[in-house]
């Protein structure tokens, strides 16, 4: 299946995001990078509740940034109708709804950071016979560099910013591996 052309040389992709990548990118001021990569990003209601509603109650700056992007239409809430996962797993509400929505819409990408949830997503995608690929915050930054939305130096600086934040749970070791790859890729 080939998605519709949205801009010269760009195809519309179905992209579902869990809260982790949205929050992480907002915290380091890189939401615009995600928005340049994908024309539209869908999230289920539980992700909105976690990233915006709960974050706003805590007074989190990232929640205000995300709310503004939802208001602008860069992110859209879409409720899954799929009642349950083909291969049930212990997941948070946002993770489960994101996987169900990705299966239902036969999404091209699911953006998710948690490694256990990513494994559960891949098992469920296989069980549902969908070809949705999973990418996390680091993958978004690498893709942005590969597609010239960021220079390698900018991508490395953003990954360093992720690594330096105690409120983002992405392994420092994994960040270092990605930085090393970016530095040594021709």
Residue 1 confidence (pLDDT): 42
Report the distance separating Cα 93 and Cα 99, nearest Å: 10
Helix H, strand E, coil C: the string for 100-153 is: HHHHHHCCCEEECCCHHHHHHHHHHHHHHCCCCEEECHHHHHHHHHHCCCCCHH
CB atoms under 10 Å from CB of 58, counted, come to 8
Confidence of residue 12 (pLDDT cuts 50, 70, 90): confident
Rounded CA-CA distance 54/94 in Å is: 12
pLDDT tens digit string along 60-90? 999 999 999 999 999 999 999 988 999 989 9
- Mean pLDDT of the region 91-97: 96
Q: Return the percentage of the chain with pLDDT > 70, whole number.
A: 94
pLDDT of residue 2: 39
> Mean pLDDT across the stretch 22-33?
96
> Mean of the pLDDT values across residues 146-157?
95
Specify burial of residue 110 (Cβ count, 10 A radius: 0-12, 13-18, 19+): buried
């Amino acid at each position: 299946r080939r998605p519709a052309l949205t801009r010269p040389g760009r195809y519309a992709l179905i992209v579902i995001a869990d809260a982790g990548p949205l929050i992480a990118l907002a915290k380091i001021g890189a939401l615009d990078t995600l928005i340049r990569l994908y024309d539209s990003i869908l999230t289920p209601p539980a992700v909105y509740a976690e990233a915006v509603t709960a974050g706003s109650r805590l007074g989190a700056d990232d929640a205000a940034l995300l709310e503004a992007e939802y208001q602008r239409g860069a992110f859209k809430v879409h409720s899954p109708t799929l009642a349950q996962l083909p291969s049930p797993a212990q997941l948070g509400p946002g993770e489960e709804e994101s996987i169900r929505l990705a299966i239902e819409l036969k999404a091209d990408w699911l953006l998710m950071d948690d490694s256990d949830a990513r494994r559960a997503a891949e098992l469920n995608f296989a069980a549902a016979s969908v070809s949705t690929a999973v990418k996390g915050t680091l993958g978004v930054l690498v893709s942005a560099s590969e597609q010239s939305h960021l220079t390698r130096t900018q991508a490395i600086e953003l990954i360093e910013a992720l690594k330096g934040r105690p409120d983002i749970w992405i392994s420092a070791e994994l960040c270092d591996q990605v930085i090393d790859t970016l530095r040594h890729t021709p």
